[in-house]
Amino acid sequence: MEEKKELRAYKEESYPPYPTKATKFWRRNFIYQFFKFWQLNYKIMRIVVKGHT
Amino acid sequence: MARVVVLGAGISGHTSAAFLKKMLGKKHEVIVVSPSQYYQWVPSNIWVGIGKMKVDQVRFKLNKVYNRWGIIFKQAKATTIHPEGDSTTDSPFVSIEYVSEDKNGETEKVEYDYLVNATGPKLRFDLTEGLGPDNNTLSVCTFSHADHTWNELQKRIELMKQGKKQRFLIGTGHPTATCQGAAFEYALNVAFEIRKRKLSHMADITWITNEYELGDFGMGGAYVKRGGYITSTKVFTESVLSEYDITWIKRAGIKKVEPGIAHYETLDGEEKSVEFDFSMLIPAFTGQGFKAFNKQGEDITDVVFAPNGFMKVDADYSGKAFEDWSINDWPQTYQNPTYSNMYATGIAFAPPHSISKPMTSPNGTKIFPAPPRTGMPSGVIGKIVAQNIAEFIKKGATEHKHTANMGRMGAACIVSAGYSLTHGQGATMTVSPIVPDYEKYPQWGRDIEATVGEMGLAGHWIKLFLHYMFIHKAKGYPLWWLLPE
């Protein structure tokens, strides 16, 4: 992926947290994300079941 | 034999019709009236807008499914509602006008025992001067809009390849527009596609929104557990936009769009403008604008509908101050208070008030998001209304056994942030309940254990999985009824 430009201070977009290389790696790590897929689906299902009376 | 008429065949109307027919069987009649011959899975229009899905992947013809189920389908638009009948009949009815090729222009009175109004929103591009695909901006609200938008995006990509820098403006196109989530998704997907083509240096992407803070999404924002902190969706949303090299303008109500320039008012009352080469802006939504008449032919539209055109249901419309809002203001059964055999589901019901705090500029312009009613609550509401009506008809029940209050039910929103099975991303966001309940959850307004905000490849897989699952369900394929809304 192409990286565009470096962040500059004193601009609004420079204040929020920016993901580190490690964070980006885990976000696309196949095995970790496979686990996340099921974990998030479980969390969604809990909400879905609760929402149906 | 009882007859139930469902107006609209979107997520809520289609769900309602499907469960009504399943529960009522052949002894009773279910009629669906919709001007479109297609069912469309709206959440995937985003992917049509970036060329990752074809139009036929997000839609299918309704008559095939309805023929199989035994539902009568009338490709027509409803024009007036007569809940007491008229001088010629005591039965309530809806006047419809056909739009199908074979009966175009023909009118008919469709009598009903129960009416489910699931007509969704009317896209009010006209409420912002110069807005919309027929004017100066684009849209992904329908599959045809999204397809057109993809054609325009391709032209911009070609220009960037030729070395011509392009300015993209994506967000809300009216001071009280809602559906920020869809526009946010589109902004992220456009940025992803541009970055994938190594053209980021040729693009300036701006997110423009009427939210007080980013991450409000029309539901007053939310709090999520992240990195050892409980943090607001403002931080989460700003972080994602920053990562995707998208700058933002917030507290902005777009009032006029001219070719290549959008004029907006800020919550501070300043009049500003922003230039663009490509713009996708979500319009304001209202109800469909039906008229209702009593038996004497008198106009009772204001009795049945709220001023915004959405149908009144069992909500508290007394107009309380923000500080006095409660989840009990929100409807539970979606029954019209005047005519007990009429219901409104999905986006068609009139919300008692917004969820976001109302904000007004010094000039008196209201700049804040209207309440969203996404696919999940729309489906749930459609289903419980069907269940209650079926029990009234079959068992003679008199009480609503099934309820769905947006202050008690949660919602999951999967925000696509790049389409790729190996390098894509999606933000998985869940909130429970949708409307904050500060009595039950005094600190955060919602169940912090059930509220999620996570970015990653899994989010893209989930969104893709949901696409196929809900198309399967909508087509009535085996065990469709087991799949949750």
Q: Is the Cβ pair A13, B242 closer than 8 Å? A: yes
Domain count of the fold of chain B: 1
Here the tokens at position B110 are: 């469709």
Q: Which residues contact B112 (CB under 8 A, 6 or more apart)?
A: B3, B4, B5, B31, B91, B92, B93, B94, B341
Interior/surface letters B185-206, b for 16+ CB within 10 angstroms, e for the rest? bbbbbbbbbbbeeebbebbbbb
Interior/surface letters B86-109, b for 16+ CB within 10 angstroms, e for the rest? beeeeebbbbbbbbeeeeeeeeee
Name the stretches of chain B with pLDDT < 50: none
Cα separation of B80 and B336, whole Å?
A: 16
Q: Is residue B146 part of a domain?
A: no
Chain A CA closest to residue B409: A51
Q: List phi, psi (to 5°) of B134.
A: -85, -5
According to the model, what pLDDT value does residue B327 have?
A: 94
Q: Is the Cβ pair B484, A52 closer than 8 Å? A: yes
Chain A CA closest to residue B378: A51
Q: Is residue B148 part of a domain?
A: no
According to the model, what pLDDT value does residue B485 have?
A: 82
Cα separation of B258 and B260, whole Å?
A: 6
Host domain of residue B7: 3-123+286-395
- To the nearest whole angstrom, how far is the Cα of A5 from the nearest Cα of chain B? 8
Q: Which residues contact A7 (CB under 8 A, 6 or more apart)?
A: A13, A14, A18, B242
Q: How confident is the model at residue A12 (pLDDT cuts 50, 70, 90)?
A: confident
Q: Is residue B268 part of a domain?
A: no
Q: Is residue B45 part of a domain?
A: yes
* CA nearest neighbour of B236 among B355, B413, B460, B419: B413
According to the model, what pLDDT value does residue A14 have?
A: 85
Q: What residue type is assigned to position B168 of the chain?
A: F
Q: What residue type is assigned to position B136 of the chain?
A: N
Q: Is the Cβ pair B454, A40 closer than 8 Å? A: yes
According to the model, what pLDDT value does residue A51 have?
A: 65
Q: 3-class SS at A1?
A: coil
| pLDDT tens-place string over residues B233-243 | 999 999 999 99
According to the model, what pLDDT value does residue B455 have?
A: 94
Q: What share of chain A is helix, strand, coil (3-state, %, to 5)?
A: 60, 0, 40
Bridge partners (DSSP) of residue B278 are B168
Q: Is residue B132 part of a domain?
A: no
Q: Is the Cβ pair B458, A2 closer than 8 Å? A: no
According to the model, what pLDDT value does residue B68 have?
A: 95
According to the model, what pLDDT value does residue B376 have?
A: 86
Cα separation of B85 and B309, whole Å?
A: 21
Q: How confident is the model at residue A37 (pLDDT cuts 50, 70, 90)?
A: very high
Q: Find the CB nearest B200 among A2, A41, A48.
A: A2
Q: Is the Cβ pair A33, B457 closer than 8 Å? A: yes
| pLDDT tens-place string over residues B241-272 | 999 999 999 999 999 999 999 999 999 999 99
Q: Is residue B142 part of a domain?
A: no
Interface test with A, best of B19, B211, B214, B245 (most A CBs within 10 A): B245
Interface of A with B (CB under 8 A): 1-5, 7, 11-19, 26-30, 33-34, 36-37, 40-41, 43-53
According to the model, what pLDDT value does residue B170 have?
A: 98
Q: Is residue B209 part of a domain?
A: no
| pLDDT at residue A53 is higher than 60 | no
Q: Is residue B219 part of a domain?
A: no
Q: What is the ipTM of this complex?
A: 0.88
| pLDDT at residue A8 is higher than 80 | no
According to the model, what pLDDT value does residue A6 have?
A: 60
According to the model, what pLDDT value does residue B276 have?
A: 98
Q: How confident is the model at residue A46 (pLDDT cuts 50, 70, 90)?
A: confident
Q: Is the Cβ pair A5, B245 closer than 8 Å? A: yes
Residues in chain B: 485
Strands, DSSP E only, in A1-53? none
In Å, how far are B181, B204, B262, B312 from B169, measured between CA atoms? 15, 9, 9, 35
Domain with residue B13: its CATH number is 3.50.50.100
Interface test with A, best of B248, B409, B446, B466 (most A CBs within 10 A): B409
